[in-house]
Amino acid sequence: MGEPASMTRRRFEIPNRSEASAALAPELEAFGLSHGVPLSVLNDLNVVLDELVTNVISYGYADGAEHVIVIDVDVADGAVVVEVVDDGVAFDPMAEPAPDLRGNLRERRIGGLGIQYVKHLTDSCCYSRVDGKNHLRVMRRVGVQGR
Amino acid sequence: MELAEFNQDGVTIVEARGRIDSASSRDLAARLSALLTAGSQKLLVDLSQALYISSGGFRALLSAGQQSEDRGCQFGLCGLSSEVYRLFEIGAFVDLFRIYSSRHEGIRQIG
């Protein structure tokens, strides 16, 4: 099965520092807008990317060294696919239990919430561990999600 | 994200514009915490110019809400777009905050 002719791809490589992750958002937005992706979808994807990259930066590395996180973005007909690849410790965020969303202001905890956003703001998520790297691939349909 | 601060009818309004993400939410948390520590009693966060809020931003809002309870400060949010409101729904945050439709309404209720 060949890839659609209209598919366009952009690769971003960032160091494992939070300010580098923040700098990614306007770039993803500009790339998506230039390919006709609605801003509302790009905002959702920027939330997803912030959660995924923040997870990797916070929990992926124990050595204190600089690592490169690779983010591939594909804009195809009707969907945007984002894949985050890191060489941190093996971790499948999709296998984590759903966060506890009960409780009042004082009882609420934020742990695990990032993945809640990733799942709700995408149409599919897929984790794999390949050659010592975590691959987290998400797909978000454009225009037909109806939410 | 950019922060702007206003005072009207005894209410301190903090407007958070742009992307409230894991990095910038630290600035939001610090600003709100500083206002509460300084004794602010009526605090309104205007989100009408926010593009989105990630979980780090919600952590900042939760922390400010808790601190407000401790200090007897009236704390509210206003101006949520439908997209931002949906992020509140996904995290089940809607019932945890006093949410007003507009800055005007928030000032009227809190002030």
Query: Which residues on chain B are in Cβ contact (under 8 Å) with A114?
Result: 54-55
The residue of chain B nearest to residue A104, with distances taken between CA atoms, is B96
Q: Is B66 a residue whose pLDDT tops 50?
A: yes
CB B1 within 8 A of CB B24: yes
Inter-chain residue contact A47 with B56, CB threshold 8 Å: no
Query: Which residues on chain A are in Cβ contact (under 8 Å) with B87?
Result: 47, 117
Q: Tell me, what amino acid is at A119?
A: K
pLDDT at A81: 97
Return all residues near A11 (Cβ < 8 A) that are at least 6 apart. Answer: A70, A71, A72, A73
Q: Tell me, what amino acid is at A44?
A: D
- C-alpha to C-alpha distance for B8 and B76, rounded to whole angstroms: 14
Inter-chain residue contact A114 with B55, CB threshold 8 Å: yes
Local structure of B41: helix, strand or coil: coil
Over residues B80-86, mean pLDDT = 97
A38 in contact with B, Cβ within 8 Å: no
Q: Tell me, what amino acid is at B62?
A: L
pLDDT tens column, B30-46: 999 999 999 999 999 99
Query: Which residues on chain A are in Cβ contact (under 8 Å) with B59?
Result: 110
The runs of H, that is alpha helices, within chain B are: 25-37, 55-71, 82-90, 103-110
Q: Which two tokens stand for residue A14?
A: 């960032």
pLDDT at A64: 87
Q: Which two tokens stand for residue B18?
A: 């742009």
Instruction: Please give the distance of CA B6 from its chain centroid, rounded to a whole number.
Output: 13
Dihedral, CA of residue B60, residue B61, residue B67 and residue B69, to nearest 10? -170
DSSP chain A: -PPPTT-EEEEEEEES-HHHHHHHHHHHHHHHHHTT--HHHHHHHHHHHHHHHHHHHHHS-SS----EEEEEEEEETTEEEEEEEE-SS---GGGSPPP---S-TTT---TTHHHHHHHHT-SEEEEEEETTEEEEEEEEESSSS--
pLDDT at B57: 96
Query: Which residues on chain A are in Cβ contact (under 8 Å) with B51?
Result: 43, 46
Interface test with A, best of B54, B87, B94, B96 (most A CBs within 10 A): B54
- Average pLDDT over chain B reads 97
The predicted model scores a pTM of 0.94
Q: Identify the H or E element spanning B7.
A: strand B2-8
pLDDT at A2: 52
A14 in contact with B, Cβ within 8 Å: no
Instruction: Please give the distance of CA B18 from its chain centroid, rounded to a whole number.
Output: 13
Pairing of strands A8-15, A68-76: antiparallel
pLDDT at B111: 86
Interface pTM, i.e. ipTM: 0.95
Closest to B54 (Cβ–Cβ): which among A51, A106, A120? A51
Which residues in chain A show pLDDT less than 50?
145-147
Q: Which two tokens stand for residue A118?
A: 């990733």
Minimal C-alpha gap between B108 and chain A (Å): 23
